[in-house]
Homo-oligomer: A and B are copies of this chain.
Amino acid sequence: MTNRSFEIVDVTLRDGSHSMRHAFTKEQVRETARGLDKAGVNYFEVSHGDGLGGSSMQYGLSKVNELELIETAAAECGQAKVSVLLIPGIGTKYDLNDAVKAGAKMVRIATHVTEADVAKQHITLARELGLKTIGFLMMAHMASIEKLVEQAKLFESYGAEVVYVTDSAGALLPHEVTERITALKNELSIEIGFHGHNNLSMAMANTLAAVQAGATYIDGSLRALGAGSGNTQTEVMVAVLEKMEYNTGVDLYKILDVANDVVAKYMPRPQEVTGSSLMMGYSGVYSSFLLHTEKAAKRFNIDERDILVELGKMKAVGGQEDLIYEVAANITKKKFAVAPKP
């Protein structure tokens, strides 16, 4: 166990919350946590899909309070430890305190890739609470490598022990992951992590690229249960990395058992690359844009995919939904413009 090549962090019980519409039951969490622990996974995450405090009208109400789910999971842990996700602005320092009381031993403080500075106080608190403390740079494809390094260094300076390249939209390709992880390895002295999504069917290949470039924390989800097209599939990751002769520290048959005998039975539908999740990865936009884009496309009678591609080029971020109508109007203008006379 001591000489594993990296830590596999399973996020089924957090990122999977999106696919479960935040309706995880205690029984589902108990069985999944037990299976992960027995398979030899050292860290797994339990929180609302949008992190601690995410249960709300805006992000979706949790069926069961996440603190109860954290407690339930922690009770199943032998060697494994429960992680939580905290997005400053959604969750608060109070939520983190509560999570620790419920049994959390690790936290990932997540910000948009250009906004690490909002995480300083949370990182400080997490260290004070004695948690394994990780910085999580979301939508990492949206920043240049220089910007990414700068932001990761902020996390490092605040006291994070690991910093993640988080490919929230599943928009990165393997060579781009290699470049990013390599740059961080060269410029930082803390450990580097990678969290992948499958919108372009590249989650597994990106994770392998990350490991080969020196990442020592990698995320996965059983049966790929997670937002968009889902995550890197934990059990596949174990199989592939074993074939590549890495020491995962995770038992392949046992992780397959919890994936297939537990998670596959409660997931509402298989994860796949659909038209909209593919367009998310292709254009590199937030999933929260999809609904507004569909409406704007109808109103202006244009293809919603043209709007997504344009938003991606503009690097629009969450909260800029107003932009969607402006973009739609511009596309319409161009489409129906009369060519100037010669």
Which A residues have a C-beta under 8 Å from some C-beta of B?
A: 173-174, 198, 200-205, 208, 223-224, 232-233, 235-236, 239-240, 243-244, 252-253, 256, 259-260, 264, 269-275, 278-279, 281-282, 303, 305
Contact = CB atoms under 8 A, between A and B. Distances in A.
A233 B282 CA distance: 14
B202 A243 contact: no
A202 B233 CA distance: 11
Contact of A236 (B200, B224, B303, B305): B200
A201 B236 contact: yes
A260 B274 CA distance: 7
Question: Which 3 A-B pairs give the minimum distances between C-beta atoms?
Answer: A205-B205, A201-B204, A260-B275
Contact of A272 (B174, B223, B274, B282): B223
Oligomer: number of copies? 2
A282 B239 contact: yes
Nearest to A201: B204
Given A201-B233, A201-B236, A205-B205, A243 B273 contact: no
A269 B272 CA distance: 10
A154 to B, nearest CB: 29
A178 B19 CA distance: 35
A251 to B, nearest CB: 11
A279 B259 CA distance: 13
A204 B202 CA distance: 7
12 contacts: A200-B243, A201-B201, A201-B205, A201-B236, A204-B205, A205-B208, A224-B272, A239-B281, A252-B282, A253-B303, A271-B272, A272-B272
Contact of A200 (B240, B271, B274): B240
Given A260-B274, A270-B269, A270-B272, A243 B282 contact: yes
A18 to B, nearest CB: 17
A205 B205 CA distance: 6
Contacts of A269: 270
Contacts of A303: 253
A233 B174 contact: no
A259 B275 contact: yes
Contacts of A273: 224, 233, 236
Given A173-B244, A200-B240, A256-B278, 16 more contacts: A173-B208, A173-B243, A201-B201, A201-B233, A202-B205, A202-B240, A224-B272, A235-B275, A236-B273, A239-B278, A239-B282, A252-B282, A253-B303, A264-B274, A269-B270, A271-B272
